[in-house]
Amino acid sequence: MSTAKTAQATKTTPTAPAPDVLIVGAGLYGLTLAERIATQLRRRVLLIDRRSHIGGNCYSAFDPETGIECHQYGAHLFHTSDETVWAYANQFTTFTNYVHKVYTTHHGEVFPLPINLGTINQFFHAAYTPAEARALITEQAQSAPAEPQNLAEQGISLIGQPLFDAFIKNYTAKQWQTPAEELSPDIIKRLPVRYTYDNRYFNNTHEGLPTDGYEAWFKNMLRAGGDLVEVRLDTDYFTDPAIQTLRATQPLTIFTGPIDQYFDYRFGELKWRSLTLEKEVLDVDDFQGCPVMNYADLEPTYTRIHEFKHFHPERHTDCYAPGSGKTVIVREYSKTWHRGDEPYYPVNTADDRAKLAQYQALAAETPNLIFGGRLGAYAYLDMDQTIAAALAQFETLKSRFNA
């Protein structure tokens, strides 16, 4: 693997061999394909990213003041039921036994999420059995159609009107600033609803955090590729002079940036939500007692607070141990995306889907160009889905190299 520094040196060497594949974006999609192409096809990859680090939005860094690992682009929890993805990821990192649990504050009271028997009984001040709770929710969900077409209908059909109004309606309004009637029902289908007291946030077979952090995981992927993978950071596909020279030769390119930007927004912008992440170091051992606290009401205006030390209860170094006197929190606010902001969540309205189809038709006509990843596919992909998509793309790519 070339490090960023040696990559800078390579950049100015005129005799550097041309890459077989240019990958734009060193996020999980780009990293997975770089690793596969290098180790399985023995082809040269040039992997570029406009940021100064690898890992895309999954990147985390150890806070210099406290030593606590902080996820730079919002909290990232790895979870999957895909055995192929799990085996693939485990080649490069081990995972901790972390199990994600989330709480939410509504009208000054804390409730467990996702909606489970504990949430229902606390909300209705009751002691319902699973069957009683199910009967109640079925009755309260009667206003929803049998086949929900949007997030509001889907939410009400899953948990009934009162719980929807308390825990979903205003949080979703803050998060998406788009009427729930215009949002895809898939957004809310991600959350389980349980008639037990199980409050694991995810339903997957495997769950955990990379033991030594996300960057260590991703560095191991690059290490596997050896000298066949050259990484250039702080390198923008659209402006870097050396990349413009390379582009003129039309190399096989895997582009994981925004598909509408690639085509200079000729059919208009695809809508995204962006985030403001406000980090604060506090002189207390423990701020909130859990990794993530959601805020279900319109006030406060942030959607949630992350407290990073709780993601690694297995770590016993000073900064994680009781008595450290320090913690790091991040308040997460959703905001409308404008050009130049980081795109985080695809809004994906019907209008966006129509534009996306136009861009995809154009992409299909462009030789030697493959779009992928959450920005290239304009899709809400979890990490495991991103890896699965990259592995599937690799299978298609193999035929280009007669492998």
Q: What is the smallest separation between the CB atom of 243 and ligand FAD, expressed in angstroms?
A: 8
**What, of ligand UDP, ligand FAD, none, does residue 188 touch, CB below 5 to 8 Å by kind?**
ligand UDP
- Where do we find the tokens 């999957």? 80
- Where do we find the tokens 């060193």? 26
373 is a site residue for ligand FAD (CB under 6 A):
yes
Beta partners for residue 273, in sequence order: 336, 345
Per CB under 6 A, the list member of 141, 168, 246, 270 interacting with ligand UDP is 168
**Residue list 216-255, contact with ligand FAD (CB under 6 A):** 236-238
Active-site hit among 36, 44, 51, 273? 273
Per CB under 6 A, the list member of 42, 189, 190, 279 interacting with ligand UDP is 190
Q: How far apart are CA 29 and CA 57, in angstroms?
A: 11
Per-position x/- string for 66-105, each x denoting binding to ligand UDP as judged by CB under 6 A, each - no binding = --------------------------------------x-
Q: What is the smallest separation between the CB atom of 209 and ligand FAD, expressed in angstroms?
A: 10
| 214 in Cβ contact with 76 (< 8 Å) | yes
**What, of ligand UDP, ligand FAD, none, does residue 294 touch, CB below 5 to 8 Å by kind?**
ligand UDP
Closest residue to bound ligand UDP by CB: 171
Active-site hit among 332, 345, 359, 384? 332
**What, of ligand FAD, ligand UDP, none, does residue 344 touch, CB below 5 to 8 Å by kind?**
ligand FAD
Give the chain's end-to-end CA distance (angstroms, integer).
23
Q: Residue-wise over 259-292: b if at least 16 C-beta within 10 A, else e?
A: bbbbeeeebeebbbbbbebeeeeeeeeebbebbb
Q: What is the smallest separation between the CB atom of 136 and ligand UDP, expressed in angstroms?
A: 20
Is 273 tagged catalytic? yes
Q: Residue-wise over 318-328: b if at least 16 C-beta within 10 A, else e?
A: ebbeeebebbb
Per-position x/- string for 305-344, each x denoting binding to ligand FAD as judged by CB under 6 A, each - no binding = ---------------------------------------x
**What, of ligand FAD, ligand UDP, none, does residue 236 touch, CB below 5 to 8 Å by kind?**
ligand FAD
Angle CA(364)–CA(368)–CA(370) in degrees, nearest 5?
60
**Residue list 145-174, contact with ligand FAD (CB under 6 A):** none
Per CB under 6 A, the list member of 37, 48, 252, 347 interacting with ligand FAD is 48
Q: How far apart are CA 326 and CA 67, in angstroms?
A: 10
Per CB under 6 A, the list member of 112, 257, 291, 346 interacting with ligand FAD is 257
The encoded tokens of residue 128 equal 């319902």
Q: How far apart are CA 380 and CA 108, in angstroms?
A: 31
191 is a site residue for ligand UDP (CB under 6 A):
yes
Q: What is the residue type of 71?
A: H
Cβ count within 10 A of residue 188: 24
368 phi and psi angles, rounded to 5 deg: 60, 25
Per CB under 6 A, the list member of 157, 175, 348, 393 interacting with ligand UDP is 175
Is 190 tagged catalytic? yes
**Taking Cα atoms as reference points, which of 312, 16, 19, 301 lies closest to residue 8?**
16
| 262 in Cβ contact with 275 (< 8 Å) | no
Is 49 tagged catalytic? no
Alpha-carbon dihedral sign for residues 164, 165, 171, 176: positive
For ligand FAD (CB under 6 A), the number of binding residues is 35
96 is a site residue for ligand FAD (CB under 6 A):
no
Q: How far apart are CA 208 and CA 2, in angstroms?
A: 29
Per CB under 6 A, the list member of 60, 80, 184, 294 interacting with ligand UDP is 294
Where does this chain touch ligand FAD (CB under 6 A) — which range of 56-64, 128-136, 154-162, 187-195? 56-64
Distance (Å) of CA 370 to CA 43, 250, 251, 256, 393: 17, 12, 11, 9, 9
**What, of ligand FAD, ligand UDP, none, does residue 221 touch, CB below 5 to 8 Å by kind?**
none
Angle CA(233)–CA(239)–CA(242) in degrees, nearest 5?
70
Angle CA(72)–CA(76)–CA(77) in degrees, nearest 5?
155
The encoded tokens of residue 194 equal 């349980």
Q: What is the smallest separation between the CB atom of 99 and ligand UDP, expressed in angstroms?
A: 15
- Residues at the contact surface with ligand UDP, assessed by CB under 6 A: 104, 113, 167-168, 171-172, 175, 187-188, 190-191, 294, 296
Q: Which residues are catalytic?
A: 190, 194, 273, 304, 332, 380, 382
By CB under 6 A, name the binding residues for ligand FAD.
Answer: 24-30, 48-51, 56-58, 73-78, 236-238, 256-257, 344-345, 373-375, 381-384, 386
